[in-house]
Chains A and B, each alone.
Chain A
Amino acid sequence: MVLAFVILSTAACKENKPPLSPNLAKENKVAMRTVSLYYESQDLLLAPERRDLPLPENPAGALDLVLRELVKGSANAAVPRLLPADTVIRGVYLLPEGTVFVDLGGPTLTQGWATGSHQELMAVYSVVQTVTANFPEARKVRMLVNGEPAETLGGHVSLARSFAPQPSVVAR
C-alpha cells in the first residue's frame, strides 16, 4: 500500500500536477526543487547535472524520487550511464544518525554485473554524491541489493560499510 502510494505520487509528479490524495500529510507536500544528479564527465570525475523535480518536503520520500531520477540517466545523450540501465531503486531509508540505506535491484545487479573497478567505484559514488549533495541530513550511504546485504555490485567495491562522500572523485 505504501508502495502504491509512492507510485501514485510519482505518477502525479510526472504530470506536474498537485498530488491527488487528500490524505497527504503536510510533510509530504510537494514543491518544485532543483537537484544535482551526478554522472561521469569526460575527465573521469563526477559532475552535477541540475534537474527540476516536484518533490515531497519530507526527505524520506524525496530521496527515493531523486535516486529514481538518477538511474534514468543523463538528459544529455552523450553522458553515459554509470549504473546498469535496468537498475531499479527498490527503497530508500533515511535514519536519524544520517545514514541512508539505498536498496538497489534489477536484472543486471541480481545476475552479476560484468564491470571494472573504475566504473563500479563511480557508480557507487554517483549514488553517494547525489544523496549527500542534495540532502544535508544525509551523511553516509549504505547499499543493499534486492533488500539484502551484498558483497559488491560488480566484484570490486565492498558494500559492507557505509560510504561517506569522497571529494576526490568529484569535479571541482
Chain B
Amino acid sequence: MKRFLPLLILAAATILSAQAPNQATLRTPSGDRFVTITHVEGQTFFAADDVMAALGGSVTPDGTGFKATLNNNLAAFGPDSRFGVIRDELIEMPSTPVVVAGRPYVPWQFFQGFLGKTADMDVTWDPVGRVLLARPAQHTVVGVQLSVANIQGISKVVVGLTAPTEYAIVKDQMAYTIHFKTPIRAPFPEQSYDDVYVSKATFAGNDLRLDLKAPDVAADAYKLDNPFRIVLDFHKVAAGPNTIPGLTPSRPVDTPGIHTIVIDPGHGGKEVGAIGPRGLMEKDATLTLCRRLADNLENKLKTRVILTRTDDSLVPLDQRTAIANQYKADLFLSVHMNAAVVKGAHGSETYFLSLEASDELAKKAAEVENAAAKTASAETADLKLILWDLAQQEYLNESSRFAQAVQEEMNRATHVQNRGVKQAPFKVLVGATMPAALVEVGFITNPDEESKLQNADFQKLVIDALTTAVERYKTDYETRIGVIRPPAPAPTASTDKKAGT
C-alpha cells in the first residue's frame, strides 16, 4: 500500500490542480467531468444544467422554477422551495436552490433524490476532493426472519426484516413471491410447514417464495413498522378468479368484540379549531362534550374509554390515532364542530376516511398481483403505499357502518339538518387500525347552532345520540362476528355479557 501512496497523492493532486475554484468533478461509471459550483453561506451548490447535461439530461426554465429532465423523468424545482418534486414525490434538499445570473444551482442532494428515485443510483459528495460521485446503489444486506402461524383460521406469515426495504409481491397459481429490492440474508434455504394454507417457504437470491396448498387461497398483505415487518394473511377465497385479494375485511384480534373505545376531542391548545360568531372555540366545545360522552359510554356500555386529551393541551394529529393504536382500541371517534363561509350553513355530518381513488387502488392491487416479476423502483415505491392502503382498507367497511350509525342517531336525537355520511382524507383518521369516524356535531359558525352547542340540554341529546350509535354498532358488529347471538324476533335491550377489558 505504501508503495502506491505517492501515486494516490499525485492523482488527488492532479484532480485538485485541474479543478478551478468554481469547479467540482462529477464522477460517473462513464468517466469524470468538471461541473460548475458556487458557494452561498458556506454551502456548495451545483449548476443543475451542468450536472444534468453531464448525465445526459437537461435543465430548462419552467413557470416560476425549472425543470430537470433525464431519461424521460422530469423533476421540477425552484428558488422558492427546498423541495424539488418528481412524480408524486418530493426531493428534499438541505437548502433552497439559488439562481445566479439566471442559472439554477442546487445542493447535491437534489441529484441524490433524482437519481435515487429514477435510476437506482447513489450520489455522494466528497467536499475535500470536491468529487460528486454517482454510482449504482450499494444496498446493504438485510436480515430476514420468518414465522408462520394459524390464528383463528387465518395463516399469518410474518416476514421480519432488520431494516425497512422496498419489495414487490407477485402471485402465481399456487405461490406468492416477495421480491426484495435490497439483498437479503435468508434464515434458511427452504422449510416446510404443517399449516392449513402454506406448505413451504423457499429463499432464492432476493426472493422469498411461499408455496400454497390450494389454488383458492389468497393473502391480505400489509406492512408494519418498528420493527419493519411484512405480513401476509392467507385465507380461502370464496369467489371466482376476479376477487382481489387484500380487500377482504379480516382482523384477527385477541378478544373479538368492541372493548376499548378512543374518543378524540378535536383540536386543543393553540390549535383552537373553528371559532363561532360569539367566540365559542371548537377546542372547548369538543372537550366539554367528549368528557361527558366518555363517562356516559363507560357507565352504559361497560367498555374502556380513553380520551386523546383531557385538558386544553395540543395533541398532534398523528398522535391521536397512535394513542388508539397503542391501546389496541376497537373503535375511534373524533368529535368536531364545523365551519363554513356560507352564512346559515347548519346541520351535522359524519365522515370516514377516503382513500384517494380507491377504485384506482383496487385496480393497481390487481395489476400487482397479476404482474410478472417487475421490480422497478417506482413500482415498488407505489406498492409500499398500496399495501399500507390495503391494510387500512380492511377497516373502511366497518368505518362506513359505524359512521352510518353515528349519523342516523344524530339525526334521530337532535333533529339538526342531516348532511349525511361522507368520505374525506382527514388526517386524524389516517393510520387508525380500527373502525374510525369523525362527527361534525354542528356548525359553530352558525349563531343558532353555536348557542345550541353551549346548551346543556342539547349537549345531552348529542351525548345520548353518540352513545346509542356506539352501542348499536357494537351490538351489530359483535352479532356479525358471532360473539353475541342475534337478537330474538322481539328485540330486547341486550347488554354485552362480556366485561370490558
Contact = CB atoms under 8 A, between A and B. Distances in A.
B426 A156 contact: yes
A155 B342 contact: no
Interface string B336-347: 111111101100
Contacts of A61: 63
Contacts of B356: 161-164
A116 B339 contact: yes
Residue with the greatest number of chain B CB neighbours at <10 A, chosen from A60, A118, A160:
A118
A117 B55 CA distance: 46
B340 A118 contact: yes
Contacts of B337: 116
B424 A121 contact: yes
B341 A119 contact: yes
A162 B88 contact: yes
Contacts of B345: 44, 118
B452 to A, nearest CB: 16
A91 B81 contact: yes
Contact of B81 (A41, A60, A90, A121): A90
A161 to B, nearest CB: 5
B376 interface: no
Contacts, number: 165
Given A80-B342, A114-B272, A116-B282, A161 B425 contact: yes
A156 B440 CA distance: 12
B270 interface: yes
Interface in B34-74: 61-66, 74
B339 A119 contact: yes
Given A80-B342, A118-B338, A161-B425, A144 B430 contact: no
Interface residues of B, number: 58
A129 to B, nearest CB: 15
A90 B80 contact: yes
A95 B63 CA distance: 11
A2 B440 contact: no
Interface string A157-172: 1101111100010000
Residue with the greatest number of chain B CB neighbours at <10 A, chosen from A80, A115, A157:
A115
Given A64-B64, A116-B443, A1 B76 contact: no
> Which 8 A-B residue pairings sit nearest by Cβ, starting from the closest?
A116-B339, A147-B81, A60-B63, A116-B274, A80-B341, A93-B76, A158-B427, A91-B64
Interface of B: 61-66, 74, 76, 78-83, 85-88, 90, 96, 99, 102, 266-267, 270-275, 282, 317-318, 336-342, 344-345, 349, 351, 356-357, 422, 424-428, 430, 438, 440, 443-445
11 contacts: A44-B342, A92-B63, A101-B85, A116-B339, A118-B338, A122-B340, A147-B80, A147-B96, A148-B83, A156-B336, A160-B430
Interface of A: 1-3, 6, 40-42, 44, 58, 60-61, 63-64, 80-82, 90-97, 99, 101, 103, 112, 114-119, 121-122, 140, 142, 144, 147-149, 151-152, 155-158, 160-164, 168
